[in-house]
Structure 1
Amino acid sequence: MNNLTSYINNEIKPLKHTQTIANAQDLFLDIPYTHFPVTEEGIYMGCISKENAELLNSEALINDSRFNFDRFFVRENMIWLDVLEIFAKNDSNIIPVLDTKNTYLGYYELEDVIRFLHETPFLKEEGGIIVVEKEIDKFSMSQVAQIIESNNAKILGIFISNVVGNKVEITIKISQSGINDIIQTFRRYEYEIISEHQEDSYLNSLKERSEYLDKYLNI
Protein backbone atom coordinates (compact mmCIF):
# COMPACT_ATOMS: atom_id res chain seq x y z
CA MET A 1 0.00 0.00 0.00
CA ASN A 2 1.29 3.45 -0.89
CA ASN A 3 0.56 5.57 2.18
CA LEU A 4 1.58 8.70 0.28
CA THR A 5 -1.89 8.74 -1.36
CA SER A 6 -3.35 10.01 1.91
CA TYR A 7 -1.47 13.27 1.21
CA ILE A 8 -3.34 13.98 -2.06
CA ASN A 9 -4.72 17.50 -1.67
CA ASN A 10 -7.98 18.84 -3.13
CA GLU A 11 -8.24 21.98 -1.04
CA ILE A 12 -7.90 24.20 -4.09
CA LYS A 13 -9.70 23.18 -7.27
CA PRO A 14 -7.65 23.09 -10.49
CA LEU A 15 -7.82 25.98 -12.92
CA LYS A 16 -10.13 25.36 -15.87
CA HIS A 17 -9.01 25.98 -19.43
CA THR A 18 -11.94 28.40 -19.89
CA GLN A 19 -10.81 30.70 -17.07
CA THR A 20 -8.70 33.78 -17.68
CA ILE A 21 -5.03 34.38 -16.97
CA ALA A 22 -6.23 36.86 -14.34
CA ASN A 23 -7.66 33.91 -12.37
CA ALA A 24 -4.24 32.23 -12.44
CA GLN A 25 -2.48 35.47 -11.47
CA ASP A 26 -4.82 35.92 -8.49
CA LEU A 27 -4.17 32.35 -7.35
CA PHE A 28 -0.40 32.83 -7.47
CA LEU A 29 -0.73 36.09 -5.53
CA ASP A 30 -2.65 34.33 -2.75
CA ILE A 31 -0.67 31.08 -2.56
CA PRO A 32 3.11 30.57 -2.95
CA TYR A 33 2.89 27.86 -5.62
CA THR A 34 5.40 27.64 -8.47
CA HIS A 35 2.83 25.98 -10.76
CA PHE A 36 -0.83 25.05 -10.77
CA PRO A 37 -2.74 22.37 -12.72
CA VAL A 38 -5.19 23.15 -15.51
CA THR A 39 -7.98 20.75 -16.49
CA GLU A 40 -10.52 20.36 -19.28
CA GLU A 41 -13.64 18.47 -18.19
CA GLY A 42 -11.68 16.75 -15.44
CA ILE A 43 -8.75 15.71 -17.66
CA TYR A 44 -5.32 17.09 -16.86
CA MET A 45 -3.91 19.42 -19.54
CA GLY A 46 -0.72 20.59 -17.85
CA CYS A 47 0.54 23.13 -15.35
CA ILE A 48 0.68 26.87 -15.85
CA SER A 49 3.72 28.32 -14.08
CA LYS A 50 3.73 31.42 -11.93
CA GLU A 51 6.56 32.80 -14.04
CA ASN A 52 4.56 32.51 -17.29
CA ALA A 53 1.32 33.75 -15.75
CA GLU A 54 2.98 36.99 -14.66
CA LEU A 55 4.03 37.74 -18.25
CA LEU A 56 0.72 36.95 -20.00
CA ASN A 57 -2.23 39.22 -20.79
CA SER A 58 -4.59 38.97 -17.82
CA GLU A 59 -7.66 39.14 -20.09
CA ALA A 60 -6.59 36.18 -22.25
CA LEU A 61 -7.97 32.68 -21.70
CA ILE A 62 -5.73 30.11 -20.01
CA ASN A 63 -6.48 27.79 -22.93
CA ASP A 64 -4.71 30.19 -25.31
CA SER A 65 -1.42 29.38 -23.55
CA ARG A 66 -1.83 25.59 -23.45
CA PHE A 67 1.23 25.02 -25.66
CA ASN A 68 3.39 26.64 -22.97
CA PHE A 69 2.13 24.41 -20.17
CA ASP A 70 4.55 22.24 -18.19
CA ARG A 71 3.22 18.68 -18.36
CA PHE A 72 4.77 16.90 -15.39
CA PHE A 73 2.62 14.74 -13.12
CA VAL A 74 2.65 11.56 -11.02
CA ARG A 75 0.34 8.55 -10.93
CA GLU A 76 -1.59 7.79 -7.76
CA ASN A 77 0.36 4.55 -7.17
CA MET A 78 3.89 5.99 -7.56
CA ILE A 79 6.32 5.46 -4.68
CA TRP A 80 7.58 8.45 -2.71
CA LEU A 81 11.12 8.30 -4.12
CA ASP A 82 9.79 8.68 -7.67
CA VAL A 83 7.52 11.51 -6.53
CA LEU A 84 10.48 13.33 -4.98
CA GLU A 85 12.41 12.91 -8.23
CA ILE A 86 9.59 14.60 -10.20
CA PHE A 87 9.62 17.49 -7.72
CA ALA A 88 13.37 17.90 -8.15
CA LYS A 89 13.42 17.61 -11.94
CA ASN A 90 10.73 20.24 -12.41
CA ASP A 91 11.79 22.68 -9.69
CA SER A 92 8.23 22.74 -8.41
CA ASN A 93 6.55 22.74 -5.00
CA ILE A 94 3.35 21.14 -6.31
CA ILE A 95 2.69 18.07 -8.49
CA PRO A 96 -0.63 16.96 -10.03
CA VAL A 97 -1.74 13.39 -9.29
CA LEU A 98 -3.53 11.47 -12.09
CA ASP A 99 -5.14 8.08 -12.52
CA THR A 100 -4.36 5.79 -15.46
CA LYS A 101 -6.89 7.64 -17.67
CA ASN A 102 -5.24 11.02 -16.93
CA THR A 103 -8.19 12.11 -14.81
CA TYR A 104 -7.06 14.74 -12.34
CA LEU A 105 -7.26 13.47 -8.73
CA GLY A 106 -5.58 16.28 -6.82
CA TYR A 107 -2.03 17.38 -6.07
CA TYR A 108 0.90 16.76 -3.77
CA GLU A 109 2.59 19.64 -1.99
CA LEU A 110 6.35 19.31 -1.52
CA GLU A 111 6.07 20.12 2.19
CA ASP A 112 3.67 17.19 2.72
CA VAL A 113 5.91 14.73 0.86
CA ILE A 114 8.92 15.85 2.91
CA ARG A 115 6.83 15.33 6.07
CA PHE A 116 5.98 11.82 4.85
CA LEU A 117 9.67 11.17 4.17
CA HIS A 118 10.59 12.14 7.73
CA GLU A 119 8.15 9.50 9.03
CA THR A 120 9.82 6.66 7.08
CA PRO A 121 12.30 4.37 8.87
CA PHE A 122 15.00 5.64 6.50
CA LEU A 123 15.03 8.99 8.34
CA LYS A 124 13.13 8.32 11.55
CA GLU A 125 15.10 5.33 12.88
CA GLU A 126 18.59 5.76 14.29
CA GLY A 127 21.37 4.20 12.25
CA GLY A 128 24.36 4.72 10.03
CA ILE A 129 24.48 5.64 6.34
CA ILE A 130 26.92 4.19 3.82
CA VAL A 131 27.26 5.34 0.21
CA VAL A 132 29.03 2.89 -2.10
CA GLU A 133 29.82 2.86 -5.82
CA LYS A 134 30.41 0.10 -8.36
CA GLU A 135 30.20 -0.61 -12.11
CA ILE A 136 26.58 -1.07 -13.18
CA ASP A 137 27.17 -4.48 -14.77
CA LYS A 138 28.87 -5.75 -11.59
CA PHE A 139 26.35 -4.31 -9.13
CA SER A 140 23.66 -6.42 -7.49
CA MET A 141 21.07 -5.21 -4.97
CA SER A 142 20.87 -8.72 -3.52
CA GLN A 143 24.65 -8.71 -3.02
CA VAL A 144 24.47 -5.37 -1.19
CA ALA A 145 21.78 -6.78 1.11
CA GLN A 146 23.82 -9.95 1.68
CA ILE A 147 26.93 -7.96 2.65
CA ILE A 148 24.99 -5.98 5.24
CA GLU A 149 23.01 -8.89 6.69
CA SER A 150 26.11 -11.14 6.85
CA ASN A 151 27.52 -8.56 9.28
CA ASN A 152 24.43 -8.86 11.50
CA ALA A 153 23.03 -5.47 10.52
CA LYS A 154 19.48 -4.61 9.46
CA ILE A 155 18.67 -2.54 6.35
CA LEU A 156 16.44 0.47 7.10
CA GLY A 157 16.56 1.83 3.56
CA ILE A 158 18.42 1.41 0.30
CA PHE A 159 18.19 3.20 -3.04
CA ILE A 160 20.21 4.11 -6.12
CA SER A 161 21.17 7.74 -5.48
CA ASN A 162 23.20 8.46 -8.62
CA VAL A 163 24.34 7.01 -11.94
CA VAL A 164 27.39 8.47 -13.69
CA GLY A 165 28.73 6.82 -16.83
CA ASN A 166 29.09 3.10 -16.14
CA LYS A 167 29.01 3.47 -12.36
CA VAL A 168 26.08 3.34 -9.96
CA GLU A 169 25.96 4.94 -6.50
CA ILE A 170 23.95 3.22 -3.77
CA THR A 171 22.89 4.86 -0.49
CA ILE A 172 22.16 2.48 2.38
CA LYS A 173 20.91 3.11 5.90
CA ILE A 174 21.57 0.40 8.46
CA SER A 175 20.54 -0.16 12.06
CA GLN A 176 23.92 0.09 13.73
CA SER A 177 26.54 2.80 14.19
CA GLY A 178 29.65 0.57 14.18
CA ILE A 179 29.81 0.00 10.46
CA ASN A 180 33.52 -0.49 9.85
CA ASP A 181 33.18 -4.29 9.34
CA ILE A 182 30.55 -3.67 6.68
CA ILE A 183 32.77 -1.10 4.97
CA GLN A 184 35.65 -3.58 4.84
CA THR A 185 33.35 -6.28 3.43
CA PHE A 186 32.18 -3.91 0.70
CA ARG A 187 35.81 -3.26 -0.19
CA ARG A 188 36.49 -7.01 -0.44
CA TYR A 189 33.66 -7.18 -2.97
CA GLU A 190 35.31 -4.29 -4.90
CA TYR A 191 32.81 -1.57 -3.94
CA GLU A 192 34.23 1.93 -3.57
CA ILE A 193 33.19 3.73 -0.37
CA ILE A 194 31.95 7.25 -1.23
CA SER A 195 30.78 8.34 2.22
CA GLU A 196 33.09 9.46 5.01
CA HIS A 197 33.10 7.45 8.23
CA GLN A 198 34.80 8.26 11.50
CA GLU A 199 36.12 4.75 12.17
CA ASP A 200 37.26 4.34 8.58
CA SER A 201 38.96 7.74 8.62
CA TYR A 202 40.71 6.76 11.84
CA LEU A 203 42.08 3.59 10.22
CA ASN A 204 43.23 5.55 7.17
CA SER A 205 44.95 8.05 9.45
CA LEU A 206 46.76 5.24 11.28
CA LYS A 207 47.82 3.76 7.96
CA GLU A 208 49.17 7.11 6.73
CA ARG A 209 51.08 7.66 9.98
CA SER A 210 52.48 4.14 9.85
CA GLU A 211 53.70 4.67 6.28
CA TYR A 212 55.25 8.00 7.30
CA LEU A 213 56.98 6.30 10.25
CA ASP A 214 58.36 3.57 7.98
CA LYS A 215 59.82 6.20 5.64
CA TYR A 216 61.31 8.07 8.59
CA LEU A 217 62.93 4.93 10.02
CA ASN A 218 64.41 4.06 6.62
CA ILE A 219 66.16 7.40 6.20
Structure 2
Amino acid sequence: MIAEELINQMIPPLKLYDTVEKALRWMDEFRVNELPVVSNRRYMGLATEQHLIELTDRSQALRDLELEHQDVHVMQRQHFYEVMEAAIKNKIQVVPVLDEEQEYMGIITINDTIAAFGQMSALQGQGSILVLSMPERDYSLSQISRLIEEENVKILSAYVSPDEMDPYKIKLTLKLNTTDPSRIISTLERFEYRITAQFNDGNGSEVGRDRLDMLLKYLDI
Protein backbone atom coordinates (compact mmCIF):
# COMPACT_ATOMS: atom_id res chain seq x y z
CA MET A 1 0.00 0.00 0.00
CA ILE A 2 1.44 3.35 -1.02
CA ALA A 3 0.99 6.92 0.19
CA GLU A 4 -1.38 8.21 -2.49
CA GLU A 5 -3.88 5.45 -1.61
CA LEU A 6 -4.10 6.67 1.99
CA ILE A 7 -4.67 10.39 1.41
CA ASN A 8 -7.47 11.75 3.59
CA GLN A 9 -9.69 13.78 1.24
CA MET A 10 -11.79 15.14 4.11
CA ILE A 11 -9.09 17.40 5.58
CA PRO A 12 -8.30 20.51 3.48
CA PRO A 13 -5.04 22.47 3.70
CA LEU A 14 -4.74 25.95 5.11
CA LYS A 15 -3.70 28.96 3.00
CA LEU A 16 -1.08 31.57 3.87
CA TYR A 17 -3.78 34.26 4.27
CA ASP A 18 -5.76 32.14 6.78
CA THR A 19 -5.65 33.33 10.38
CA VAL A 20 -4.40 31.66 13.53
CA GLU A 21 -8.00 31.56 14.77
CA LYS A 22 -9.16 29.68 11.67
CA ALA A 23 -6.26 27.22 11.90
CA LEU A 24 -7.04 26.39 15.53
CA ARG A 25 -10.74 26.04 14.74
CA TRP A 26 -10.02 23.59 11.93
CA MET A 27 -7.64 21.58 14.10
CA ASP A 28 -10.37 21.20 16.68
CA GLU A 29 -12.93 20.31 14.00
CA PHE A 30 -10.77 17.67 12.35
CA ARG A 31 -9.25 16.46 15.63
CA VAL A 32 -5.61 16.87 14.61
CA ASN A 33 -2.69 18.75 16.15
CA GLU A 34 -1.26 19.98 12.86
CA LEU A 35 -2.49 21.13 9.47
CA PRO A 36 -0.54 21.72 6.26
CA VAL A 37 -0.23 25.19 4.76
CA VAL A 38 -0.22 25.40 0.95
CA SER A 39 0.45 28.22 -1.50
CA ASN A 40 -0.13 27.68 -5.23
CA ARG A 41 -0.12 23.93 -4.65
CA ARG A 42 3.29 24.16 -2.94
CA TYR A 43 3.63 22.75 0.55
CA MET A 44 4.92 25.47 2.86
CA GLY A 45 5.02 23.64 6.19
CA LEU A 46 2.79 22.64 9.09
CA ALA A 47 0.86 24.93 11.37
CA THR A 48 0.91 23.27 14.79
CA GLU A 49 -1.53 23.67 17.64
CA GLN A 50 1.32 23.73 20.16
CA HIS A 51 2.76 26.82 18.50
CA LEU A 52 -0.44 28.66 17.61
CA ILE A 53 -2.16 28.28 20.96
CA GLU A 54 0.57 30.35 22.60
CA LEU A 55 -0.11 33.39 20.38
CA THR A 56 -2.17 36.21 21.85
CA ASP A 57 -3.11 37.80 18.51
CA ARG A 58 -5.20 35.17 16.76
CA SER A 59 -6.04 37.50 13.87
CA GLN A 60 -2.50 37.10 12.52
CA ALA A 61 -2.18 35.53 9.08
CA LEU A 62 -0.17 32.33 8.81
CA ARG A 63 2.15 33.98 6.27
CA ASP A 64 3.51 36.11 9.13
CA LEU A 65 4.48 33.06 11.18
CA GLU A 66 7.33 30.58 10.97
CA LEU A 67 5.83 27.27 9.91
CA GLU A 68 7.23 23.98 11.16
CA HIS A 69 8.33 20.74 9.46
CA GLN A 70 8.82 22.43 6.09
CA ASP A 71 10.99 19.56 4.85
CA VAL A 72 8.83 16.73 6.23
CA HIS A 73 6.73 14.95 3.62
CA VAL A 74 6.47 11.72 1.64
CA MET A 75 6.17 11.19 -2.08
CA GLN A 76 3.02 9.73 -3.57
CA ARG A 77 4.58 6.35 -4.50
CA GLN A 78 6.28 5.67 -1.15
CA HIS A 79 5.16 2.67 0.89
CA PHE A 80 3.04 3.35 3.96
CA TYR A 81 5.96 2.19 6.12
CA GLU A 82 7.65 5.46 5.14
CA VAL A 83 4.55 7.42 6.15
CA MET A 84 4.56 5.79 9.56
CA GLU A 85 8.26 6.48 10.04
CA ALA A 86 7.85 10.16 9.08
CA ALA A 87 5.05 10.57 11.62
CA ILE A 88 6.95 8.80 14.39
CA LYS A 89 10.33 10.46 13.88
CA ASN A 90 8.83 13.95 13.74
CA LYS A 91 6.13 13.35 16.37
CA ILE A 92 3.34 14.58 14.11
CA GLN A 93 -0.21 13.37 13.48
CA VAL A 94 -0.39 14.26 9.78
CA VAL A 95 2.08 13.63 6.96
CA PRO A 96 1.90 15.70 3.74
CA VAL A 97 2.04 13.87 0.40
CA LEU A 98 3.67 15.42 -2.69
CA ASP A 99 3.57 14.32 -6.32
CA GLU A 100 6.47 13.98 -8.74
CA GLU A 101 6.29 17.71 -9.49
CA GLN A 102 6.67 18.48 -5.78
CA GLU A 103 3.07 19.71 -5.67
CA TYR A 104 0.83 19.10 -2.68
CA MET A 105 -1.62 16.19 -3.02
CA GLY A 106 -3.04 15.88 0.50
CA ILE A 107 -2.25 14.49 3.93
CA ILE A 108 -2.30 11.13 5.64
CA THR A 109 -3.28 11.05 9.30
CA ILE A 110 -1.80 8.67 11.84
CA ASN A 111 -5.23 7.00 12.07
CA ASP A 112 -5.09 6.30 8.32
CA THR A 113 -1.66 4.76 8.83
CA ILE A 114 -2.86 2.59 11.69
CA ALA A 115 -5.71 1.33 9.51
CA ALA A 116 -3.26 0.46 6.73
CA PHE A 117 -1.00 -1.28 9.24
CA GLY A 118 -3.91 -3.40 10.40
CA GLN A 119 -4.71 -4.46 6.84
CA MET A 120 -1.20 -5.81 6.41
CA SER A 121 -1.89 -8.62 8.87
CA ALA A 122 1.13 -10.68 7.92
CA LEU A 123 3.75 -8.03 8.61
CA GLN A 124 5.40 -10.13 11.34
CA GLY A 125 6.42 -12.81 8.87
CA GLN A 126 9.57 -12.91 6.78
CA GLY A 127 9.01 -12.08 3.15
CA SER A 128 8.33 -9.45 0.53
CA ILE A 129 5.42 -7.43 -0.83
CA LEU A 130 4.36 -7.21 -4.47
CA VAL A 131 1.77 -4.85 -5.91
CA LEU A 132 0.06 -5.93 -9.15
CA SER A 133 -2.20 -3.88 -11.40
CA MET A 134 -4.72 -5.58 -13.66
CA PRO A 135 -8.13 -5.14 -15.28
CA GLU A 136 -10.83 -6.12 -12.82
CA ARG A 137 -12.18 -8.71 -15.24
CA ASP A 138 -8.79 -10.49 -15.24
CA TYR A 139 -8.56 -10.80 -11.47
CA SER A 140 -8.34 -14.41 -10.30
CA LEU A 141 -6.64 -14.99 -6.96
CA SER A 142 -6.81 -18.75 -7.48
CA GLN A 143 -4.84 -18.51 -10.72
CA ILE A 144 -2.28 -16.11 -9.20
CA SER A 145 -1.94 -18.36 -6.15
CA ARG A 146 -1.34 -21.39 -8.36
CA LEU A 147 1.43 -19.60 -10.28
CA ILE A 148 3.10 -18.53 -7.05
CA GLU A 149 2.77 -21.86 -5.26
CA GLU A 150 4.28 -23.65 -8.25
CA GLU A 151 7.46 -21.75 -7.35
CA ASN A 152 7.25 -23.13 -3.78
CA VAL A 153 6.23 -19.76 -2.37
CA LYS A 154 3.15 -19.04 -0.23
CA ILE A 155 0.86 -16.01 -0.14
CA LEU A 156 0.66 -14.80 3.47
CA SER A 157 -1.93 -12.11 2.81
CA ALA A 158 -3.72 -10.45 -0.10
CA TYR A 159 -5.40 -7.04 -0.31
CA VAL A 160 -7.44 -5.72 -3.24
CA SER A 161 -7.93 -1.97 -3.77
CA PRO A 162 -9.02 0.30 -6.66
CA ASP A 163 -6.37 1.59 -9.03
CA GLU A 164 -6.64 5.39 -8.84
CA MET A 165 -4.90 5.75 -12.19
CA ASP A 166 -7.50 3.66 -14.05
CA PRO A 167 -11.11 3.11 -12.88
CA TYR A 168 -11.26 -0.16 -14.83
CA LYS A 169 -8.29 -1.68 -13.02
CA ILE A 170 -7.58 -2.93 -9.50
CA LYS A 171 -4.44 -3.26 -7.42
CA LEU A 172 -3.59 -6.52 -5.71
CA THR A 173 -1.09 -6.32 -2.83
CA LEU A 174 0.49 -9.67 -1.97
CA LYS A 175 2.65 -10.52 1.05
CA LEU A 176 4.87 -13.51 0.18
CA ASN A 177 6.97 -15.74 2.43
CA THR A 178 10.16 -15.13 0.44
CA THR A 179 12.68 -12.31 0.61
CA ASP A 180 13.68 -12.89 -3.02
CA PRO A 181 10.58 -12.55 -5.23
CA SER A 182 12.55 -12.37 -8.51
CA ARG A 183 11.34 -15.79 -9.73
CA ILE A 184 7.76 -14.91 -8.82
CA ILE A 185 8.00 -11.60 -10.67
CA SER A 186 9.35 -13.34 -13.77
CA THR A 187 6.56 -15.92 -13.65
CA LEU A 188 3.79 -13.36 -13.20
CA GLU A 189 5.15 -11.13 -15.93
CA ARG A 190 5.34 -14.13 -18.25
CA PHE A 191 1.58 -14.46 -17.77
CA GLU A 192 1.18 -10.72 -18.47
CA TYR A 193 0.59 -9.55 -14.90
CA ARG A 194 2.06 -6.08 -14.38
CA ILE A 195 4.12 -5.52 -11.20
CA THR A 196 3.87 -1.86 -10.14
CA ALA A 197 5.79 -1.97 -6.85
CA GLN A 198 8.02 -4.25 -4.81
CA PHE A 199 9.03 -4.02 -1.15
CA ASN A 200 11.34 -6.42 0.66
CA ASP A 201 11.46 -7.24 4.38
CA GLY A 202 15.10 -8.19 4.26
CA ASN A 203 15.39 -8.83 7.99
CA GLY A 204 12.32 -11.02 8.22
CA SER A 205 10.21 -10.97 11.35
CA GLU A 206 12.46 -8.44 13.06
CA VAL A 207 11.39 -5.83 10.47
CA GLY A 208 7.73 -6.31 11.26
CA ARG A 209 8.44 -6.31 14.98
CA ASP A 210 10.46 -3.09 14.69
CA ARG A 211 7.64 -1.38 12.79
CA LEU A 212 5.10 -2.50 15.35
CA ASP A 213 7.33 -1.30 18.22
CA MET A 214 7.69 2.09 16.52
CA LEU A 215 3.93 2.42 16.15
CA LEU A 216 3.25 1.49 19.78
CA LYS A 217 5.86 3.99 20.97
CA TYR A 218 4.20 6.68 18.84
CA LEU A 219 0.81 5.99 20.39
CA ASP A 220 2.34 6.53 23.83
CA ILE A 221 3.56 10.03 22.93
Q: Which TM-score band (shorter chain)?
A: 0.5 to 0.7
- The residue aligned with 1:105 is 105
Of 163, 171, 175 in structure 1, the residue corresponding to residue 206 of structure 2 is 171
* Distance verdict in 2 for CA 1:49–1:160, change over 3 Å: farther
Partner SS state of residue 122, structure 1: coil
Q: Which runs of 4+ in 1 moved over 3 A?
A: 153-157
Q: In structure 1, what residue type is equivalent to 2:110?
A: L
- The residue aligned with 1:21 is 20
TM norm structure 2: 0.55
Q: Which has the higher contact order (CA 8 A, sep 6+)?
A: 2
Determine if the alignment matches structure 1 residue 92 to structure 2 residue 92. Answer: yes
Flag structure 1 segments of 5+ consecutive residues without an equivalent. 129-148, 162-169, 174-219
Summarize deviations over 1:109-141 as a string: whole Å, max 9, x none: 111111111212534x8x68xxxxxxxxxxxxx
Say if 2:94 and 2:107, in contact at 8 Å, map to a contact too: yes
Say if 1:49 and 1:70, in contact at 8 Å, map to a contact too: no
- The residue aligned with 2:201 is 158
Summarize deviations over 1:20-47 as a string: whole Å, max 9, x none: 1111011122232121000112211000
Q: In structure 1, what residue type is equivalent to 2:85?
A: E
- The residue aligned with 1:34 is 33
CA distance in 2, matches of 1:20, 1:160: 47
Q: What is the CA-CA distance between 1:11 and the residue it aligns to? A: 1.2
CA distance in 2, matches of 1:21, 1:51: 12
Q: What is the CA-CA distance between 1:155 and the residue it aligns to? A: 4.1
Say if 1:155 and 1:172, in contact at 8 Å, map to a contact too: no
- The residue aligned with 1:135 is none
Q: What is the CA-CA distance between 1:90 and the residue it aligns to? A: 1.1
Equivalent residues in 2 for 1:129-140, closer than 5 Å = none
CA distance in 2, matches of 1:59, 1:154: 56
TM norm structure 1: 0.55
Partner SS state of residue 36, structure 1: strand
CA distance in 1, matches of 2:20, 2:203: 41
Summarize deviations over 1:92-111 as a string: whole Å, max 9, x none: 11111111322110110111
Flag structure 2 segments of 5+ consecutive residues without an equivalent. 127-152, 154-175, 180-199, 209-221
Instruction: Mark the structure with the bigger radius of gyration.
Output: 1
CA distance in 2, matches of 1:43, 1:97: 11
Q: Number of residues paired by the alignment?
A: 139
RMSD after superposition: 2.9
Percent identity of the aligned residues? 22
Say if 1:96 and 1:104, in contact at 8 Å, map to a contact too: yes
